[in-house]
Amino acid sequence: MTGLANTAPASTRKTSPPAARRGEPASSQRTNKRSSAVADATAKPTLELAEAFDQFKASLATYLKPADIQRVEAAYRFADTAHEGQARVSGEAYISHPLAVATTLAGWHLDPQALIAALLHDVMEDTAITKEQIAENFGKVAAELVDGVSKIDRIENQSFEEAQAENFRKMLLAMTRDVRVILIKLADRLHNMQTLDVMRPDKRRRIANETFDIYAPIANRLGLNSLYRELEELSFRHAFPMRYRVLAKAVKQARGNKREVVGKILESIRAALLKAEIEAEVMGREKHVFGIYCKMREKHLTFSQVLDIYGFRVVVSDKTSCYQVLGALHGLYQPVPGKFKDYIAIPKVNGYQSLHTMLIGPFGTPIEVQIRTAGMNHVAESGVASHWMYKDEQTLTQLQKSTHQWLQSLIELQASSTDNTEFLEHVKFDLFPDEVYAFTPQGKILTLPRGSTAVDFAYAVHTDIGNRCISCQINSESVPLRTELRNGDRVEITTASHAHPNPNWLTYVRTGKARAQIRHFMKSRQDDESSTLGERLLTRAIADLGHLPKDIDPVAWARFLHDTGLRGRQEVYAEIGLGLRLAPVVARRLLARDGNLQQDAKAGGSVSIRGNEGVAIKIATCCRPIPGDPIIGLIRKGQGLIVHAHNCATIGKLHGSKTEWVDVNWDPAVSGQYETYIHVVTKEARGVLAKLAAKISESESNIVNVSMNVDGDAMTSLYFTLHVTGRMHLARILRALRSLPDVVRLHRQFETRR
Torsion sign across C-alpha atoms 289, 295, 301, 304: negative
pLDDT of residue 184: 92
| Alpha-carbon gap, residue 633 to 631, rounded angstroms | 7
Would you identify the CATH topology of the domain 2-242? Hypothetical protein af1432 (1.10.3210)
Measured between alpha carbons, how far is 168 from 422 in angstroms, rounded to an integer? 12
Per DSSP, the three-state class of 558 is helix
The strand pair at 435-439 and 489-495 is best described as parallel
C-beta separation of 474 from 483 below 8 A: yes
Helix or strand or coil: residue 111?
coil
Residue 155 pLDDT greater than 50, yes or no? no
Over residues 306-335, the mean pLDDT reads 89
Task: Tell me the CATH number for domain 674-749.
Answer: 3.30.70.260
| DSSP state at residue 213 | I
Nearest to 41 by CA among 90, 83, 4, 81: 90
Residues 82-92 have a mean pLDDT of 88
Residue of 103 and 377 predicted with greater confidence: 103
Q: What is the pLDDT of residues 243-285, one digit of tens each?
A: 999 988 888 777 666 777 788 889 999 999 999 999 999 988 7
DSSP state of 418: S
pLDDT above 60 for 613: no
Average pLDDT for the chain: 79
Q: What is the Cα gyration radius of the chain?
A: 34
pLDDT at position 574 = 78
Q: Compute the distance between CA of residue 613 and CA of residue 666 in angstroms, rounded to an integer.
A: 12
* Highest mean pLDDT, choosing among 6-20, 157-171, 309-323: 309-323
- Residue 304 burial (C-beta neighbours within 10 Å; 0-12, 13-18, 19+): exposed
The angle at the Cα of 464, spanning 459 to 470, to the nearest 5 degrees, equals: 75
Weakest mean pLDDT among 64-68, 208-212, 396-400, 737-741: 396-400
Question: CA 302 to CA 294: how far, in whole Å?
Answer: 11
**167 pLDDT more than 70:** no
Query: What's the pLDDT at 734?
Result: 94
> Strands, DSSP E only, in 553-699?
607-609, 617-619, 631-636, 640-645, 660-662, 664-666, 674-683
Cβ distance 518 to 509 under 8 Å? yes
DSSP string, 396-443: HHHHHHHHHHHHHHHHHHHHH-SSHHHHHHHHHHH--S-EEEEE-TT-
pLDDT at 20: 39
Q: Chain-centre distance of CA 731, in angstroms?
A: 50
Looking at residue 576, its pLDDT comes to 78
Band (pLDDT 50/70/90 cuts) for residue 105 is: very high
In angstroms, rounded to a whole number, what is the distance separating the alpha carbons of residues 544 and 536?
12
What are the CA-CA distances from residue 110 to residues 81, 183, 220, 403, 488 (Å)?
Answer: 24, 9, 19, 17, 38
Return the closest-CA partner of residue 18 out of 74, 65, 72.
74
CB atoms within 10 A of CB 657: 7
Q: What residues act catalytically? A: 125-126
DSSP readout, 289-312? HHHHHHHHHHHT--HHHHHTSEEE
Report the range of poorest mean pLDDT among 97-111, 359-373, 415-429, 687-701: 415-429
pLDDT in tens, 628-673: 998 888 776 556 678 888 888 777 777 655 566 777 888 888 888 8
Of the listed ranges 277-281, 291-295, 488-492, 588-592, the one predicted with least confidence: 588-592
Burial class (CB in 10 A: 0-12, 13-18, 19+), 374: middle
Mean pLDDT of 581-606: 57
Whether the predicted pLDDT of 445 surpasses 80: no
Q: Are 196 and 207 in contact (CB under 8 A)?
A: yes
The yes-or-no verdict on residue 199 having pLDDT over 50 is yes
Residue 359 neighbours by CB under 8 Å, 6+ apart: 329, 330, 332, 333, 334, 335, 336, 366, 367, 369
Which pLDDT score is estimated for 218?
83
Q: Which among 723, 590, 573 is positioned nearest to 641, based on CA atoms?
A: 573
Round to whole Å and give the CA distance between 683 and 681.
7
B/e letters for 688-724, b = 16+ CB within 10 Å, e = fewer, are beebbeebbeebebeeeeeeeeeeeeeebebbbbbbb
| Confidence at 456, pLDDT banded by 50, 70, 90 | very high
pLDDT for residue 10: 33
Highest-scoring range by mean pLDDT, 235-239, 501-505, 548-552? 235-239
Q: Decide: 501 and 518 in contact? Cβ < 8 Å.
A: yes
Q: How many CB atoms lie within 10 A of CB 563?
A: 9
Q: Average pLDDT in the 464-486 region? A: 90
Element of type H or E holding 704:
strand 702-711
Cα–Cα distance, 341 to 326 (Å, whole number): 11
Give the Cα separation of 241 and 238 in Å (integer). 5
Q: What is the dihedral of CA 487, 460, 392, 140, to 10 degrees?
A: -150
pLDDT, position 386: 60
Least trusted range by pLDDT, from 58-67, 329-338, 422-431: 422-431
The pLDDT score that the predictor gives to residue 595 is 37
Which residues touch 684 (CB under 8 Å, ≥6 apart)? 710, 714, 715, 716
Contact 165, 155 (CB under 8 A): no
Place 225 in a pLDDT band, splitting at 50, 70 and 90. confident
Average pLDDT over residues 487-494: 88
Instruction: Give me the residue spans of the domains in the chain.
Output: 2-242, 247-390, 520-666, 674-749
Asked if residue 162 has pLDDT above 80, the reply is no
Residue 406 has pLDDT above 90, yes or no: no
Residue 401 has pLDDT above 70, yes or no: no
Q: Cite the DSSP H helix spans in 619-726.
A: 649-654, 688-698
CA distance 525 to 515: 15
Provide mean pLDDT across the span 31-48.
Answer: 44
Going from the C-alpha of 417 to that of each of 73, 334, 424, 510, 660, the distances in angstroms are 42, 51, 9, 16, 32
The verdict on domain 247-390 having CATH code 3.90.25.10 is no
What is the average per-residue pLDDT within 403-430? 62
Confidence of residue 377 (pLDDT cuts 50, 70, 90): confident
Go through the chain and tell me how many residues it has. Answer: 754
What pLDDT was estimated at residue 159? Answer: 56
For residue 404, the model assigns a pLDDT of 60
Q: 11-41 b/e with 16+ CB inside 10 Å = b?
A: ebeebeebbbeeeeeebeeeebebbebeeeb
Position 269 scores a pLDDT of 92
Task: Give the three-state DSSP class for 600.
Answer: coil
Percent residues over pLDDT 70 in the chain: 77
pLDDT at 257: 62
CA angle 505/510/515 to nearest 5° reads: 55
At residue 391, what are phi and psi to the nearest 5 degrees?
A: -100, 20
Per-residue model confidence (pLDDT) at position 80: 92
What values do phi and psi take at 699, rounded to 5? -85, 10
> For 115-137, how does the pLDDT look when each residue is reduced to its tens digit (9 = 90+)?
999 999 999 988 888 999 999 99
CA-CA-CA-CA torsion sign (59, 61, 62, 67): positive
